[in-house]
Chains A and B, each alone.
Chain A
Amino acid sequence: GAVVSQHPSWVICKSGTSVKIECRSLDFQATTMFWYRQFPKKSLMLMATSNEGSKATYEQGVEKDKFLINHASLTLSTLTVTSAHPEDSSFYICSARDWRRGNQPQHFGDGTRLSIL
């Protein structure tokens, strides 16, 4: 159980375009979803936290107008990278948990590799 699906797994696009990444919890309700970013040989860095039906909370240094997060249902959150540039190229990973289930850990998707040309 506790499966999180992320789509697409890999996307290549031109500089200036916007890219939307989906994160779905398949067999549980995700009251909270997290978005992380990972550079090669680096740790996962938390970008933002979103609770279903609320505005996302962004970590210091993360531009909320650049990285738009929507968490409109208990099974879906989206991250849109607006006007993407080469420096936005990275591995983006979402995770999800249901806070109503107590101290249960986060479950991660398989990530989206974003390459901006």
Chain B
Amino acid sequence: QKEVEQDPGPLSVPEGAIVSLNCTYSNSAFQYFMWYRQYSRKGPELLMYTYSSGNKEDGRFTAQVDKSSKYISLFIRDSQPSDSATYLCAMSAIGGGGADGLTFGKGTHLIIQP
């Protein structure tokens, strides 16, 4: 079983819809959870950074972490065509990846239809 599972999609939704992206993981040591957005031929851009279980909101984005279920989510409200990108979940046992780097999901390719 892979450490982090993420549905690669593509996920296609109409503009204005609420988007739900998810990852599951197996390593109970993970405490720091991140969502990155990656446009084609670009590096990942940090969207959300959370610690342990709970919710965090930033503008149109909401990140949820349920450590008991080993499940994390990213919600995007009022989705825009410019949100079309690949969304990567990442996690680590130590803040910022510590000395061990991050473990990434495969990424979900999101398409927002105008």
* A46 is an interface residue with CB less than 8 A from chain B: yes
Interface size on A, residues (CB 8 A): 31
A93: B residues at CB distance < 8 A: 43-44
What CA separation (Å) do A90 and B103 show in the bound complex?
Answer: 19
Interface size class of B (residues with CB under 8 A): 20 to 34
What CA separation (Å) do A113 and B43 show in the bound complex?
Answer: 11
Of the listed residues B44, B94, B95, B104, the one surrounded by the most CB atoms of chain A closer than 10 A to its CB is B44
Known: A43-B106, A108-B45, A111-B42. Is A34-B88 also a contact (CB below 8 A)?
no
* B18 is an interface residue with CB less than 8 A from chain A: no
Closest to B99 in A: A49
A45: B residues at CB distance < 8 A: 104
User: Once the chains bind, are A105 and B34 in contact (CB under 8 Å)?
Assistant: yes
Instruction: Looking at the assembled complex, report how far the CB atom of B7 sits from the nearest CB atom of chain A, in whole angstroms.
Output: 13
User: Once the chains bind, are A106 and B104 in contact (CB under 8 Å)?
Assistant: no
Closest to A10 in B: B41
What CA separation (Å) do A102 and B88 show in the bound complex?
Answer: 23
User: Once the chains bind, are B99 and A43 in contact (CB under 8 Å)?
Assistant: no
Closest to B103 in A: A46
Closest 7 pairs between A and B when the two form their complex, measured CB to CB:
A103-B95, A46-B101, A108-B43, A110-B43, A43-B104, A43-B106, A44-B104
From residue 13 to 60 of chain A, which have CB atoms closer than 8 A to chain B?
32, 34, 36, 41-46, 49, 51, 57, 59
Of the listed residues B36, B42, B88, B90, the one surrounded by the most CB atoms of chain A closer than 10 A to its CB is B42
